[in-house]
Amino acid sequence: MGIKEIPYERIEFKDENEELERLLLENFYREKTFVQKMKEAELWEDIVRIKAEERRLANLKQNTEGDIGLPRKNTKNEQGKTSDIVAEKIGTSGKTYARAKSAFKEIKRLESEGKEQDAKFLITILNENVRGAKDIAKSNKISHTLIQTNIPQLISILLVILHLVKKLKN
């Protein structure tokens, strides 16, 4: 090959959280399924909570040292509800993230109970239609979903299934 040197950049991180955050940020523009985004969201939630706690402790410490008149040390882009911050980090709205989180929680429950087929079904739906996945997950019984749901949920589910059928035909 003839390559004698490979250029690289060595980066030191203060802790594993900072390293994980960098990895997630480096992957932001990669195309992902919604399930992959939800797996990243779990990691982001931990990072955001830890950062919030660090800010809270820094502000407490700052205010106990007699510096009450000084501005707080909050980072403007990291303020707000954890769910809204995480939603932005994975490139979605807070409402969509809440719906997806509900469905993803159900997927994990199904997997932990050994209901792999039901989990795979819900993963497929989540990757195609977040609202449909949330509606199915809310019913708690994937195998009996079409029988037990109300009309708006049934319409949402049927639209997802029609979309999947069209995709399979192409």
Q: Determine, yes or no, domain membership for 7.
A: no
Is there a single domain that holds both residue 28 and residue 87?
yes
Is there a single domain that holds both residue 30 and residue 73?
yes
Counted domains in the chain: 2
What region, left, alpha or beta, does residue 70 occupy, with left being phi > 0 and alpha being psi -120 to 50 degrees?
beta
Between CA 122 and CA 119 the distance in angstroms is 5
Between CA 136 and CA 154 the distance in angstroms is 9
Of 61, 92, 123, the residue that ends a domain is 92
Within the chain, residue ranges assigned H as helices are 16-26, 34-64, 82-89, 94-112, 116-128, 130-139, 145-148, 151-169
Between CA 65 and CA 162 the distance in angstroms is 63
Q: State both tokens at 66.
A: 């007699």
Q: Determine, yes or no, domain membership for 45.
A: yes
Q: Determine, yes or no, domain membership for 124.
A: yes
Q: Determine, yes or no, domain membership for 26.
A: yes
User: 84-99 pLDDT, tens per residue?
Assistant: 999 999 999 999 999 9
Residues of the chain with pLDDT under 70: 1, 62-79, 140-154
Is there a single domain that holds both residue 79 and residue 119?
no
Q: Determine, yes or no, domain membership for 1.
A: no
What region, left, alpha or beta, does residue 94 occupy, with left being phi > 0 and alpha being psi -120 to 50 degrees?
alpha
Is residue 39 packed enough to be buried (19+ CB in 10 Å), middle (13-18) or exposed (0-12)? middle
Owning domain of residue 37: 14-92
Q: Determine, yes or no, domain membership for 8.
A: no
Between CA 27 and CA 52 the distance in angstroms is 23
Q: Determine, yes or no, domain membership for 68.
A: yes
